[in-house]
Amino acid sequence: MLNIVNKSATERNSLESCLRMASKGSAVLLIEDAVYAVTQGSAAAAKIQAAMADLQIYALGPDLDARGMSARVLDGVKVVDYGGFVDLVAEHNTCQSWL
C-alpha cells in the first residue's frame, strides 16, 4: 500500500490518521502542504520519526523546494521527484489518498 497525504498536519488530521492506520511496512508519500511535517522542528516531526520504525516515509522534492523547506528535511525521509512518485505508484498494488 502506498499512502499519499497532501494536507498540512497543523491544519488537518489526515497525516495523523494515516500514520495511525497505515499497516506496517507500507509507504507514506507526503506531497503539497503535507511536506511541512517532515521538516526539523515541525509539530509532527516526532511522530514522523517514530513512524519511520514501521513505515517508509517519502516526500516530494518539488513541493519542498517550492516551500523553501528542502534544507530542513528530517534524516531518514526519502525525497523523490515526480519520476520517483510514478515509480512508487507503479511499485505498489494499491494507493490510498488521505484527503
Contacting positions for another protein (CB under 8 A):
6-8, 10-11, 32-33, 36, 39-43, 45, 61-63, 65-69, 71-72, 81
Cβ closest to another protein, residue 28 vs residue 30: 30
C-alpha cell at 47: 511522530
For residue 78, which of 95, 59, 64, 63 has the smallest C-alpha distance? 59
User: In the complex, what is the shortest distance from the CB of residue 93 to another protein, in angstroms, rounded to a whole number?
Assistant: 28
User: In the complex, what is the shortest distance from the CB of residue 92 to another protein, in angstroms, rounded to a whole number?
Assistant: 23
Find out whether 67 and 38 touch, Cβ atoms under 8 Å.
no
Cβ closest to another protein, residue 52 vs residue 80: 80
Integer CA distances (angstroms), 46 to 39, 53, 55, 84, 94, in order: 10, 12, 14, 25, 27
Cβ closest to another protein, residue 52 vs residue 92: 52
Alpha-carbon span 47 to 91, nearest angstrom: 25
Cβ closest to another protein, residue 53 vs residue 71: 71
User: In the complex, what is the shortest distance from the CB of residue 47 to another protein, in angstroms, rounded to a whole number?
Assistant: 14
